[in-house]
Amino acid sequence: MEVSSIPGDDARTESEDPATLASPARKRSSWRQTALRLTIGSLVTAGFLWLFLRQAALGDAWREMRALPGWTIAAALGFVLANAAFIALRWRYLFAAARYSTTARGLFPIFCVGAAANNIIPARGGDLLRMEATRQRYKIPAFVTAGTLFAERLLDGVVLSVWILVGALMIGETGPLLLAGVGLSAGTALGVALAAIAAARPDAAERFVWRITRRLPVRWHTRIGRAAANFVLGLGAFRQRRSLWRVAWTSVAIWLADFGMYVVVGEGFGIDLGAGAYFLLEGVGNLALGVPATAAGLGSFDYLTLVSAEQLDVAEHLATPYVLTVHAMVVLPVTILGALFFRRAFPRVFGGRAAG
């Protein structure tokens, strides 16, 4: 059962569902935008894949991957599952800050389904599944969930930018990687500050949106205003110190688990790198995964991480299998879990009742 600070929130949950707001003209426009995103995503993926395959010796890489010891795979999978569990826990904290009651156990399958969809289709289409699943299971308005997803991206950007900055300092890098870490850290810090301002003054944020949309038809003006209010509600973790602390430590735990996976895979291949280099590889790789035009970071992750590994003096015959193994660990387990959990995340689709 949820508690919302916005009067009439439950009554407008259905009406604010993006799927119910579209007129025929808007639906046609949406299809065109979707086709454009898919086209751009395909071109970006093809471009990065071409660059990667120019440098990769896939036959040799496969032989190296097959020789990985079993403990490496088992340990890497353990870190991947820990990463997903911490993500579900952080999401529960984000919803709690927005005054909605959920459980990490209930959110875990929803996260897996959304992540699996993001690994299959470009433009982060899985986020729409996460929004719909939380609406069905917990009666949470779509734009509240959208606010929590935005908070997730912002928190991840903070940690990964710090990872790149710290990694560059640890290995004595004073060039582009250090500058990228400084720039990303400054940008994410600004994003956190703006989110905190919006969360602390939701009425002011809503008034701002109402002013800039006042020339729209009344129906859309009202709906956009309500959607903006729900979105800001989803940023509630930036309003309270206790909530911010909880989402901060879980964000660090998420990426430390991922860091562990990068390290054990490297150890399995006999790659001799320090912690700073692994921080850099993780930061670069996961920012490449965040490129919204590509599904599962296909191409972008492989090429950019490969280039980074080679710059860190990883042997050429090990760099490609290392990158491919890490990418497989990031993508395959959660995609399989998403397929297994789909029925649980969408019980109404299969005639079941939504759990509380």
Question: Over the stretch 132-156, which tens digit does the pLDDT of each residue have?
Answer: 999 999 999 999 999 999 999 999 9
pLDDT of amino acid 118:
87
For the segment 215-270, what is each residue's pLDDT rounded down to a tens digit?
777 777 678 888 888 999 999 999 989 999 999 999 999 999 999 999 999 999 99
Mean pLDDT of 41-56: 78
For the segment 179-197, what is each residue's pLDDT rounded down to a tens digit?
888 998 899 999 999 999 9
Number of domains in the chain: 1
pLDDT of amino acid 209:
76
For residue 184, give every residue at least 6 positions away whose Cβ sits within 8 Å of its Cβ, in sequence order, or none.
157, 160, 161, 164, 165, 287
Mean pLDDT of 27-40: 64
Instruction: Please tell me the distance from the alpha carbon of residue 110 to that of residue 118, in angstroms, as a whole number.
Output: 12
pLDDT of amino acid 57:
83
Backbone phi, then psi, for 315, in 5-degree steps?
-55, 140
The three-class DSSP label of residue 99 is coil
Min mean pLDDT across 120-124, 234-238, 328-332, 333-337 is at: 120-124
pLDDT of amino acid 33:
65
- pLDDT class of 38 with cuts at 50, 70, 90: low
> Is residue 161, in this structure, part of any structural domain at all?
yes
> Is residue 9, in this structure, part of any structural domain at all?
no
pLDDT of amino acid 352:
53
> Is residue 116, in this structure, part of any structural domain at all?
yes
Is 204's pLDDT higher than 50?
yes
Is 354's pLDDT higher than 60?
no
Mean pLDDT of 199-215: 79
pLDDT of amino acid 288:
77
pLDDT of amino acid 2:
37
Query: Rg for the chain (alpha carbons), in Å?
Result: 21
- pLDDT class of 11 with cuts at 50, 70, 90: very low
> Is residue 216, in this structure, part of any structural domain at all?
yes
> Is residue 209, in this structure, part of any structural domain at all?
yes
Q: Percent of the chain beyond pLDDT 70?
A: 84
> Is residue 15, in this structure, part of any structural domain at all?
no
How crowded is residue 298: how many other Cβ atoms within 10 Å of its Cβ? Answer: 21
- pLDDT class of 280 with cuts at 50, 70, 90: very high
Instruction: Please tell me the distance from the alpha carbon of residue 226 to that of residue 176, in angstroms, as a whole number.
Output: 43
- The stretches of 171-217 forming alpha helices (DSSP H) are 176-200, 202-212
For residue 80, give every residue at least 6 positions away whose Cβ sits within 8 Å of its Cβ, in sequence order, or none.
257, 258, 261, 329, 330, 333, 334
How crowded is residue 284: how many other Cβ atoms within 10 Å of its Cβ? Answer: 23
Mean pLDDT of 39-51: 75
Mean pLDDT in the chain? Answer: 84
For the segment 63-101, what is each residue's pLDDT rounded down to a tens digit?
999 999 999 999 999 999 999 999 999 999 999 999 999
pLDDT of amino acid 248:
96
The residue length of the chain stands at 356
Mean pLDDT of 30-53: 72
pLDDT of amino acid 324:
95
pLDDT of amino acid 13:
42
Identify the domain containing residue 160 by its residue range.
Answer: 25-347
How crowded is residue 218: how many other Cβ atoms within 10 Å of its Cβ? Answer: 8
- pLDDT class of 5 with cuts at 50, 70, 90: very low
> Is residue 99, in this structure, part of any structural domain at all?
yes
- pLDDT class of 23 with cuts at 50, 70, 90: low
> Is residue 1, in this structure, part of any structural domain at all?
no
